[in-house]
Every structure is written in structure tokens, then in C-alpha cells.
Amino acid sequence: MQHIECLIIGAGFGGIGMAIQLKKSGKSDFQIWEKASDFGGCWRDNTYPGAACDVPSHLYSYSFAPKKDWQYRFARQPEILSYIQQCAQQYQVISHLRFDHGVRSAEFDTERQHWVIEAENGNQITARYLITATGQLNRPLIPNISGLDDFKGEHFHSAQWRHDIDLTGKTVAVIGTGASAIQFVPEISKIAAQVTLFQRSAPYVLPKPDRAYTPWEHALLKWVPGLQKLSRVKTYLQYESRVLGFRFHEHLMKIMAGQWARYMKSQIKDPELRKALTPNYPMGCKRILLANNYYETMKRNNVSLCSDGISSVNDSGIIDNNGQHHPVDVIIYATGFKATEFLVPMTITGANGQSLHDVWKNGAEAYLGINVQGFPNLFMLYGPNTNLGHNSIIYMLESQFRYILSAIKYQEKGGFRSIDVLATPQRAFNENIQTKIKNTVWNQGCHSWYITDEGKNTVNWPTFTFNYRRMTSEFHPNDYHCQQ
């Protein structure tokens, strides 16, 4: 069986960025196993009309690979995907990619102190370091609604958009009103005969300060040294200040809620529609959304909102909780992802034969969101409690790249065969996270994808991202058992 130094699982922003950092540190004995036949992660999968980022481009990109000619302040999906592709090419990581290599299992061999990894296609490999970069939003959630299988029309999830189905002149039902729906509903309503939006909870939608960059701005960014960095820092600080709202929501979130109420009032004059579009939970409890055309779209003659709840689906449409039948040609699930199920469907077996999913039966947790006790030399990117409600995930990923590289260098320098985080620091770290989360707006009684069925927030980082950067600035050997 082939042996390599490092195997990365997943070729999205995390996996490609980690690979670039390995290359830059002089390492080349690594592979990236990717389940699909192309790379790009969620930016490869989410191709629905209107797909775009809600974090400004200069911040939602690698700091080590600045792009000075972003077309828009908030990049659209095709440009982000092509940016990831360009970075992979520029830093020569393409030859390290192995497509159609979804990982079935990874098992730690205690005697040899390495990981044995098997792909769904039967290929096997051993690696000293295993780095998972599978993201948190990669497994579409199809709602469990009675009669769904009886529906005779077309139906698909927003992250598996069926471009072969022409929605022109069709009657379309959209289930869900999260970040994805608010981006594609304005687009499909331009061509569909009728769109009915089935809303379970109304989102808070604020205007998106988006626009195209002018040729002048591109020239300035290109020729003025440090300008791109300055723009990045300015945006970072602007976004980072939102943490104050999440942590001390009662006062600061009220200010934002006032801003939202004024925006809503200016957009929707009909009191009935306004009432239906008004959320019934505190602002920030679910992700705050940005769009300039969502409320506008809700006023269209061919768009209607059903907030009565779904009772069932039959062969020709959706029946709401009032018993009304909505006949439709197509159902689109904008119902999000199974975000709290980390590293599913892989089987990961640690040093004592224990399964990672058994260890996580009460909710996933890790030290710094990166290491789990009993799983030596397993490193996670975008692991438990490292998602953000307010800032660019690329910033968190870059902190993780640095920490993982520092852990690898520490082992090389000290002649260690593996490192395994100790139970006590892992527990202390997670108790501290959960204590902080208790006081956030995410814990104010709404249901969101941040929280497990048992009520534990295993997804979000509850404080400033610069705190995370500081904590991960270098490897903490005292918190680990280092195996000679």
C-alpha cells in the first residue's frame, strides 16, 4: 500500500488552502482525496441562479493569494469557483488531487502510528497526518414531509440544482427561506409563471451594499501598494464588530433590528405581507441575510408566500396546514444542510479502536475545533465550533492552516511520531465555548442549523476571530501527549 506523509480529505477552500500552505512550507508528499469529480467544495455544488457570497470578496479570499480585480464587492459563485481553480493552478496543487475518492473509512494504526485510509472506490493509502477539509455545509437536508415520494413533478435541492429543468412558465414551490432561497427566488420569479414560497420562519433580510468595481478602482488596487490589504482590514473590522451584537445582543441587536424594521417598512407597504415577513425570534438568532431584491420580489404578482406550514405532499402539489392544495410542477428544497453531522458518512476509528461518531454521540467537539483526544495526528479544518455568524470563514481556515503546520513542524523537530491532545485541555476548551455560547443571541430560543436536536451548539465560534487567531498562533505542546 502506498504511504504518504499527509492526506487531505476534501478540495474546497479548506483543502486547497491547506495544500498551498504545505507546498509553501516545502512539502510535496501529500494527496487530496475529493469525493466529486471536480474541486471547489460548496462553490462547485451551489450553482443555483443568483448564488453569491454574503461576505465581501477582498475578505472572502486567501490573504496569501490576493485578487485585485474582483468584479463585484460581493463575488458571484462562478468568480469564486474560478478563483479557487486559479489558486490551485498557481500553487501547483492540481497534481496532488485525486477525484472520485470519497473516503469510506480512516483507521489509526497504533503500532505504525499512521492512518490507513480507504476510499469508496476501494483505493487505500496510509498517511502519517490526516487532515479533514470536508466543510460543514456539504450534506443537503431533504425535509421529511409526508407524501414527498408521491409527487410526480420534478423536485431537487438548491445545492443540487437541476440546470436541465427549464423553469420558464412553470409553477414552482420553494420550501425554505434561508440564505440560499433569498438569492434564487428573485431570479426564478423572473421566468416562472408562479412561485410559492413555503416559509416556516421568516428571515431578517438587510440591504446588501453590493456593486460592481469600476475600472478606476481596479487600477488603483493594482498600482497602489497595500490598498487591497487596507480594504481587507477595513472590511474585517467592520464585520468583526458584529460579534458585539451576538454577545451583547440585548442592546446592540436592538439597534440592528431597528435598522431592519425601517428597511422592511420602506420596502413592504402592505401590512398583511409585512406581518407575514416579520420574524418571530430575536435578530441574529439565525443568520442575518443580505439582499437587495428579496422583499421587492415578494411583491410580484407571480410570487406568493405561504406561512401556514406544510401538512403533506401529494402527486400534484403541496397541501398546507389549512388544507389548501397548491398544485405545482416543480418543488425546490431550499432547506439547508445537515451541519451538525461532522465528518459523515466516513467511519473514523482512533487509537483505541473507538469510533469518532461514538465519541461525538452527545454532539461533536474538539480542541480548538482541530484535534480530538484519542485520534492522533488527525486535524480538522472548519471543525466543531469554528463556524462564524459574522465574518469570513477564510480567516478561521487560515488560523487552522498555521496551527496544523506548526504541529507538524513541532513533531519533525522533536522527532515525535504523533501527537494526541489531552482530555483535560479539550474539556476545558469546550466548557469555555459552551459557557460563552449560553450568553449569545444564538441561544435565544430559535431553531437553527447551529444547534443539534439535543440543543447543543456544536457549530459556532462564540467570540472574536482574532481571539481564535491568537489561540492558534502556534502549537501548544503542553496540551498534547507527544509519542516518541
Which residues are at the interface with ligand N01 (CB under 6 A)? 52-54, 137, 143, 158, 175-181, 183, 198, 200-201, 286-287, 310, 334-337, 447, 449
Question: Nearest approach, Cβ of 336 to ligand N01 (angstroms)?
Answer: 2
Kindly tell me which of 7 and 52 has the beta carbon lying closer to ligand N01.
52
Which residues, other chains included, contact 423 with Cβ-Cβ below 8 Å and sequence gap of 6+? 373
Question: Nearest approach, Cβ of 201 to ligand N01 (angstroms)?
Answer: 4
Kindly tell me which of 107 and 210 has the beta carbon lying closer to ligand N01.
210
DSSP E strand stretches across 328-427: 330-333, 347-349, 378-380, 418-421
Question: Nearest approach, Cβ of 281 to ligand N01 (angstroms)?
Answer: 9
Question: Nearest approach, Cβ of 322 to ligand N01 (angstroms)?
Answer: 15
Kindly tell me which of 137 and 441 has the beta carbon lying closer to ligand N01.
137
Question: Nearest approach, Cβ of 133 to ligand N01 (angstroms)?
Answer: 17
Kindly tell me which of 199 and 418 has the beta carbon lying closer to ligand N01.
199
Kindly tell me which of 363 and 376 has the beta carbon lying closer to ligand N01.
363
Question: Nearest approach, Cβ of 89 to ligand N01 (angstroms)?
Answer: 23
Kindly tell me which of 297 and 349 has the beta carbon lying closer to ligand N01.
297
Kindly tell me which of 58 and 101 has the beta carbon lying closer to ligand N01.
58
- Which among 427, 461, 391 is positioned nearest to 247, based on CA atoms? 461
Q: How far apart are CA 273 and CA 385, in angstroms?
A: 36
- Closest residue to ligand N01 in the complex (CB): 178
> Which residue pairs, CB below 8 angstroms and at least 24 apart, start in 262-266?
263/206, 263/207, 263/295, 264/295
Helix segments in 270-337, DSSP class H: 271-276, 294-298
Cβ atoms < 10 Å from Cβ of 323: 8
- Which among 241, 300, 250, 245 is positioned nearest to 270, based on CA atoms? 300
- Which among 370, 390, 375, 377 is positioned nearest to 472, based on CA atoms? 370
- 19 exposed, middle or buried (CB, 10 Å; 0-12, 13-18, 19+)? buried
Give the sign of the dihedral formed by CA 311, CA 313, CA 314, CA 320.
positive
Q: How far apart are CA 235 and CA 276, in angstroms?
A: 33
Question: Nearest approach, Cβ of 47 to ligand N01 (angstroms)?
Answer: 12
Kindly tell me which of 101 and 286 has the beta carbon lying closer to ligand N01.
286
Direct distance between the N- and C-terminal alpha carbons of the chain, in angstroms, rounded to an integer: 24
Q: How far apart are CA 286 and CA 143, in angstroms?
A: 18
Angle, alpha carbons 345-348-349 (nearest 5°)? 150
Kindly tell me which of 145 and 407 has the beta carbon lying closer to ligand N01.
145
Q: Are 315 and 150 in contact (CB under 8 A)?
A: yes
Q: Are 305 and 273 in contact (CB under 8 A)?
A: yes
Question: Nearest approach, Cβ of 289 to ligand N01 (angstroms)?
Answer: 8
Question: Nearest approach, Cβ of 109 to ligand N01 (angstroms)?
Answer: 36
Kindly tell me which of 52 and 253 has the beta carbon lying closer to ligand N01.
52
Helix segments in 46-175, DSSP class H: 77-90
Question: Nearest approach, Cβ of 283 to ligand N01 (angstroms)?
Answer: 14
Kindly tell me which of 252 and 313 has the beta carbon lying closer to ligand N01.
313
Which residues, other chains included, contact 467 with Cβ-Cβ below 8 Å and sequence gap of 6+? none
Q: Are 249 and 437 in contact (CB under 8 A)?
A: no
Instruction: Name the DSSP class of 95.
Output: G
Question: Nearest approach, Cβ of 377 to ligand N01 (angstroms)?
Answer: 30
Kindly tell me which of 288 and 433 has the beta carbon lying closer to ligand N01.
288
**77-90 and 13-24 helices cross at what angle (nearest 10)?**
20
96 φ, ψ (degrees, to nearest 5): -90, -5
Question: Nearest approach, Cβ of 176 to ligand N01 (angstroms)?
Answer: 3
